[in-house]
Every structure is written in structure tokens, then in C-alpha cells.
Chain A
Amino acid sequence: MGGVSPAKGRTGGNLAPLRLHVPEPKYRPGDRVDYSGLVIPPAGAQPRPDETCPAGDTYPLCTDLVRVLGDDDLAAGPWDPRLDAGALRRMLRVMALTRAFDDRMYRAQRQGKTSFYMKSTGEEAVAVGAAFALADDDMVFPSYRQQGLLIARGYPLVEMVNQIYSNRADRLKGRQLPVMYSARDYGFFTISGNLTTQYPQAVGWAMASAIKGDTRIAAAFIGEGSTAEGDFHSGLTFAAVYNAPVVLNVVNNQWAISSFSGIAGAERTTFAARAIGYGIAGLRIDGNDPLAVFAAMRWAADRARANMGPTLIEHFTYRAEGHSTSDDPAAYRSAHEREEWPLGDPIMRLKRHLVAIGEWSEEQHATMDREVAGEVRAASKEAEKSGVLGHGMHHPFKTMFEDVFEELPWHLREQAEQAIHERQTRFPKWKE
């Protein structure tokens, strides 16, 4: 053993022994949950400052919760974006499509068609509401749980399935873990997997847009657990210093794999309150309310486009399912959390709102659910024609060595020859 012996510290006297605090969530598997202590202010009660306000005017909202859809299923207050029923129905449909897609791809993973999948169940309002509020050519820098952005922007589902199956039609040539999409033409930055790296990147993209006198802005998304990364603070510092036209989103879904939000600092203050220290605008919003998400994103996007700089938005939501197909949340949290989450389910809330204002019915909803399931099924079948993971219908072997550099250097050429030689040794009849 090296180092200072722990027993040799100063003892006795009048000093109380120091204690280390290790945060622990309120509920573990089997526990009954009680959310009565969670402060959920009434919908419509939060003031909406002008988009061009001083950042400080938003600070009360960093510890509040911007809500539009109330318990009566009606939209209320100054944040109501007053979208027409057609827009609301489109938003509902994209959220339902996203959930149907997640459900089918989850099953596909269980059936062995791919290695891995990540659902966004319960968080559809964040990505879909954001996509509706942004311009289509604004660049988004997502994490792995904003598939709703791509779906809302009309990216072909079959391309997503091709990527998930890493098949020979996969535009990313089977190189990326499933769901780590890249779609430049849809303003969707290549997803990393190393957490929060996209924060300073989004800020840099936004700075470049400002350097060039462009009008496009950037938006980045991370989870609450990722706010602990240095990149988060680098990103916020640069965004603040250069007044970058960027919307920095923190999707607080309460859980970072098995670590509750307290492990990222939530016992002390909100994640939106991080904005205060940087002197930029901040909003904390009901992330299960698509109207609140839309309103906040539009507010922040308009602010950025008006050269008023960045906004940090905390989307308060709940990760209804496991982190990924490799995770079992029953091992660390109470199943009752999801059932009793006081902000409900985003799809159900928008559905009930449309019904409440006489613009939707159970029959229409059931029809829509059938239709989106059909769309997903058709895309999935179409993708399977190009193969599923591990069935040999992958991209040509030599593509493994391409795109490391723009041009193939000698050492990669030699290594590619070796790889092909190994293939031919293993499968003598193999030809590319």
C-alpha cells in the first residue's frame, strides 16, 4: 500500500468527522413512488419575455417550468404557440411514427437483425417539437436519442433501417453503431457516441455561420448526465464569449444509464440554471409537452437569428424505457416511476389536447397508429432486401479502408490487401 495512511489523520478535538455525500435516488426497484414533492407549476403561469430580452430576464424561468398544455388538456398562457390544428396533427403523427419505429427496431434487435438499438420512448416531444420549430436547414447536432429530428425532417425510414442493419445499402457503409446516423442533406450532424463532443462543435458551426454572415443557426442536444463533461462547459463558454447563434439543449430524462440525475448535480439546482453562470438565456420547460418544446425552441431560434446569442434549454422529461437494448432498468429503478410520472406521456397529451379542442378522435388516432405501423413495416421490409447485420450482405470489403483519409496511403493499401487475403483464405471461393 502506498500513499498517506488513512488512519493517520488528525482525530479527536472538537471537529466533527467529515462525511462524503454520495447522492442516491429516492426510489429503487420495488419501491412505491411518490411524486407529490416534485414541484410542477400550473400550465400557462410562466411569463414569456421578448426574444430579444436581456439574458437575465430569463433567469426566473431557469428554476421554473414552462408549460403550455395543462391538466385540462388545453393550451394556456403566453407560451402557447397557437399552432393550427393541421400542424398539431402533423406533429402528433411524427411522434407516433417515431414511437412505432422505435418499437419495431427494438423488436428487430431482439430478433437478431442488429446488434443494438436505442428508443426515445417518452421523449418524442423533445426532438419532434424542436424539428418543427427550427428551419429545415438549421444544423442539428444530436445525441443518440433524437431520431425524431430525422423523422420530422422527412428522412426516409428505409435509410434509417439500412443504417441500423449495417447492410449493403447503409449510407454509412456499416461503420457506425446502430442509430448513429449522419444526414448532411437533412442538416443532421454525424452522431458520435462520445458524449457531449457535439456541444462545442455546434457552437463552432454556429460561429462559422456568423463569420460568414449566414442566417442558419445550430442546435445541439445532450442528456443531463453529459452536462458533467468538460465539453459542456467549453461549449457554453465559447457560445457565451462569441454570442454564437446556437440553441443548446439538455434533455433531462432523469437517468444516465443507471445513474439518476443527482449524480450529475440535480440535487443542487436545475440544469437550466447552468445558463446563469455563463450569462446566457436559459429556459426550463416541460419536455413532455410538445407545445412547450415548440414554443421554447422557436423562442431560442428567433433569439439566435436576431443576433441575441445562445440559449440553454432544459427539457424536463422521463426516459420511459431502458438506456438501450443492452440495459435493464428493472435492475436499478422502480418500474412505478414511469407509470406515475406526473408530466405524463407526450403523445397521449397531444392526442388528448386535439380531442379536447374537437380536432381529433379515437377513431382517427387508431387509424393513424395503423398507418404509421404500416409505414414502418414497409420500410423495414424494404431494408431487409439489402440485408441484416451478420448475414453477409454488407458493404464491399475494401470500403473498410476508405475514408480514413481522403486518399488511401500506402500502409492502408497494404493492410487492405492483407484483409482481402485473409478473406480469401477463409472462404476460397469468395469474390468481392
Chain B
Amino acid sequence: MTIEEDPVSLADAPTRRLNMIEAINDALDIMLERDPNMVIIGEDVGYFGGVFRATAGLQKRHGRTRVFDTPISECGIIGVAVGMAAYGLRPVPEIQFADYIYPGLDQLVSEAARLRYRSAGEFTAPITVRSPFGGGIFGGQTHSQSPEALFTHVAGLKTVIPATPHDAKGLLIAAIEDNDPVIFFEPKRIYNGPFDGYYDQPARSWPSHPGSVVPEGYYAIPLGKARVVREGSALTVLAYGTMIHVAEAVLAGKGVDAEIIDLRTLVPIDIDTVEKSVEKTGRCLVIHEATRTSGFGAELAALVQERCFYHLEAPIERVTGFDTPYPHSLEWAYFPGPIRIGEAVDRLLGA
């Protein structure tokens, strides 16, 4: 595990060990302090501090007109955020679960994403939509989805997904500072600890993981830059969020010298890091938890095929969730776990 130091430049800054919720809360707190135009809106985000506690204490510290509860209307939440942004504020709406984002889709796809283009820069939408996504918490079909591919398909939206508390803080700060709309999906299965895919093993907490070392104060991790989690030569893994930790565990367990790349930003993707790695290893495994058909893995496989074809020594492998809703009782049957990943690795290395 290597924690990239470069955009941080806080080598001397004191650090704390935080879980992902604490890191996100810290980022929001710092940005509310730094930018008087930032506001946080969403269901239950105010006094209570959010159902996952990501905004705990922020209303008390920054005031009721800067962090406040909204009606249960994702269309309204995103819609008023667009209007606030047009005024000059920097809204950070929370959508309580990514599964609930769809009523706000028109406001994201047709409005926030297009404002700059259609007004030739007169109006912009510097909005960061935070939302917990992904399964593995017995959330059933309405609290487990991974809809990131829908947003990567939209011209004008950036999509960011952190995999560690360190990255969650730095990426969220960068997303908030970005002058374009950013969808910031938080893998809720790893809010409290790095989940390695072995669901029947005892859960781990963040403090034992190097990714939980979070510098105090302000730092931003630039969007569009991937993180090489682990250098290796046998194959390249392209993944993000929870699946980074699952891939690490599975490949370590198999003793494979894999290069694992945490994309961090899906759009714009860090194509240079992807190309460099695949050209080196000649083998590529794409992993995501989302459903398979037209998932972001399809885009990754196409990019690698278009740009690295003559370096490939095996067909690209794609490991994903199945094309079903996320089932409550059978969620581990859905989840792309160690067996699915392990067999894909075997095929890649056997080819």
C-alpha cells in the first residue's frame, strides 16, 4: 500500500486516523470554514447530521442557513442547488442513498451538466452531489445500487469515488472546489472499515489500514488522477471504491504480483496511468460492483482495447455484479467476491 504524497504536500502536517465518515465530515467542515458561499442541503443533514453522520455537528458550527434539512424531494434538492449555484453559492447537496437520486436526474443531466455549455459560460453549476452507494450492508434493492455508469454517460458531469479516508477527504475538497458539477459517490460498505470481500470474516476497522492516516487541515487531491495502490507486473486491475480492497485481498491471497489502480475519478479518467500500466503488464482485469451490462467496466474494457490492444496478451476480463436488482437475502451471491475475481485472475494468467 502506498499513499501518494504529491498533491497533498503535507508531509509535515500532523495526521489523525479517521474512518471514511470522519474524513468526509472533516472535509466538509474545512470547506464550510474556507468558503462562505458553500452550503450543505439534504434530507436529515441538519440538526441530526445525516443518517450516516457525515454532516454531524456542521449545522451547530456553521449555522442553520448553511447546513439544513430539505423536504424529501431529490428533484427539489438538486433543482434548488442549481439555482443557488446560479446565484453564486457552492452547494453540496447530499442524496441520502444513491438509489434515491433518480427523481433528481433531470436536474442533473439536463440542467447542472449543461448550464455552462448552453449559456456559453454565463451560468455554471459548481455543485458537488454527495451520495452513499454500493451494497454489502443488507440494504436490499433500494439501498445498495451503484449507478455511477449513468453519470459517466452524461457530458458535463464528473464522477468521483474514493476508496480510503485519506482520499475521501482530499477528493471531496477538490470536488467542492471544482467549478463543474461533480457526482461524489461514497462506498458506504467501507465507511467504517476496509471490506475485503470475505463477508464471513470479522469486520476490520479503518485504524489498522494505512489509508486511514489523514492529514489535518486542508488538502486537495486533483480530480482525474488515479492512484497506483500497488505496483506489480503480472496484471493490471482497474477498480474503484470498495472493490479496491476486495481486489487487494484476493490477489494477495493468490500470491499474484498485480498492479492495482484505484481510478478515483471515472470522468475524466486518468488514461495515462491506465495505459502505462496495461502496456507494462499486458493483462487487464476490470472490476466493479455495479450491474454488468453497459456498466463502467464496458467503457474501461473498450478504452484499454482501443489504446493498448497490441500490448495485450490475454482478453480483458470484466468482473461485475450480476444484471439483477441487488437482492436482500442473497446479496453475497450478487457481490463480485473472491471466487468471481479469483477465477477471472486464473483465466487472465492462464491465457
Contact = CB atoms under 8 A, between A and B. Distances in A.
Interface of A: 139, 141, 171-173, 175-176, 180, 182-184, 189-190, 192, 194, 197, 199-212, 218, 230-231, 233-235, 237-238, 241, 403-406, 409-411
Given A192-B111, A197-B111, A207-B83, A237 B76 contact: yes
Given A211-B65, A237-B71, A404-B155, A197 B79 contact: yes
B39 A409 contact: no
B283 interface: no
B83 A218 contact: yes
B145 to A, nearest CB: 21
B115 A211 contact: no
Given A175-B117, A238-B76, 19 more contacts: A139-B86, A141-B83, A184-B123, A192-B111, A194-B110, A201-B86, A207-B80, A209-B87, A210-B65, A211-B84, A212-B89, A231-B76, A234-B71, A238-B71, A403-B121, A404-B155, A405-B158, A409-B268, A410-B271
Interface string B23-36: 00000000000000
A390 to B, nearest CB: 20
Contacts of A409: 224, 267-268
Contact of A403 (B111, B117, B158, B268): B117
A238 B70 contact: yes
Contact of B80 (A230, A233, A238): A238
Contacts of A176: 118
Contact of A208 (B79, B87, B118, B155): B87
A128 to B, nearest CB: 23
Contacts of B269: 411
Interface string B84-121: 11111101000000000001001100110001111111
B110 A175 contact: no
A171 B86 CA distance: 18
B116 A404 contact: yes
B66 A237 contact: no
B192 interface: no
B120 A173 contact: yes
Contact of A205 (B73, B83, B106): B83
Contacts of B86: 139, 189, 201, 204-205
Contacts of A209: 87
Contacts of B234: none
A209 B89 CA distance: 10
Nearest to B109: A194
A153 to B, nearest CB: 15
- Greatest chain A CB density within 10 A among B73, B76, B124, B180 is at B76
Interface in B48-90: 65-66, 70-71, 73, 75-76, 78-89
A184 B110 contact: no
A139 B85 CA distance: 13
Contact of B118 (A175, A206, A230): A175
Contacts of A411: 268-269, 271
Contact of B84 (A184, A189, A205): A205
B47 to A, nearest CB: 15
A171 B76 contact: no
A410 to B, nearest CB: 6
Contacts of A403: 116-117, 120-121
B122 A184 contact: yes
B79 A235 contact: yes
B279 to A, nearest CB: 17
A200 B107 contact: yes
A406 B180 contact: yes
18 contacts: A172-B119, A175-B117, A182-B120, A182-B123, A197-B79, A197-B106, A200-B76, A200-B82, A204-B84, A204-B85, A211-B66, A211-B89, A230-B75, A230-B103, A234-B73, A238-B70, A404-B155, A409-B267
